[in-house]
């Protein structure tokens, strides 16, 4: 989606600010070793992590490797 009017651009920026999951799924891309640059599509557990980032100032996460949590944290920081 590419907003064309200033009002549409403003609305899109506001929506991205209010909903980080929407921003990440719509605008963020990740580097895949075989497929190159691909859209970042979050999993439900990543969405829940983002909700927790919003609700709580500090988060302690017990996780395993290769879950994409570092990537989701970096995308949320953007």
The model's pLDDT over 5-36, given as tens digits with 9 standing for 90+, comes to 999 999 999 999 999 999 999 999 999 899 99
Backbone angles phi, psi at 54, to 5 degrees: -70, -45
> Rounded to whole angstroms, how far apart are CA atoms 35 and 25?
18
Give pLDDT, residue 3: 56
Write down the pTM of the prediction.
0.81
Give pLDDT, residue 62: 87
Give pLDDT, residue 2: 55
Q: Which residues contact 42 (CB under 8 A, 6 or more apart)?
A: 21, 24, 25, 50, 72
> Rounded to whole angstroms, how far apart are CA atoms 42 and 72?
8
Give pLDDT, residue 54: 94
Give pLDDT, residue 68: 87
């Amino acid at each position: 989606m590419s907003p064309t009017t200033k009002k549409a651009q403003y609305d899109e920026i506001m929506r991205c600010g209010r909903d980080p999951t929407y921003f990440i799924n719509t605008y963020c891309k990740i580097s895949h070793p075989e497929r190159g640059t691909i859209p970042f599509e979050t999993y439900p557990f990543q969405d829940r992590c983002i909700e927790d980032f919003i609700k709580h100032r500090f988060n302690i996460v017990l996780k395993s490797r290769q879950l994409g949590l570092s990537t989701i944290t970096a995308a949320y920081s953007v």
